[in-house]
Amino acid sequence: MDDTPDNHPEARDDHAVVLGAGLAGLLAARVLAERFARVTVVERDELPTEGPEFRPGVPQSRHAHVLWSRGVDVME
């Protein structure tokens, strides 16, 4: 029996997995990183290495999007 507390950095289950590297997935990974020692983001598309690009697996990526100031405040 392991006496390591659940929130201890060496706990066996100290790993979170996030499916999708969209905005929601990346924000979720950031929040989970405060609780888990390791966070893995699984994404089916190859992410660009230089700057933003349209993503083949996300049909709405070509649509105009707006992030209101309150959203920026919450993310910061």
Q: What is the pLDDT along the chain (76 residues), one digit of tens a residue?
A: 455 556 555 555 799 999 999 889 999 999 999 999 999 999 998 888 898 888 887 788 888 778 889 988 888 8
- Structure-token pair, residue 76: 């910061």
Its pTM surpasses 0.85: no
Nearest to 32 by CA among 12, 43, 47, 18: 18
What pLDDT does 18 receive?
97
pLDDT, position 35: 94
pLDDT of residue 9: 58
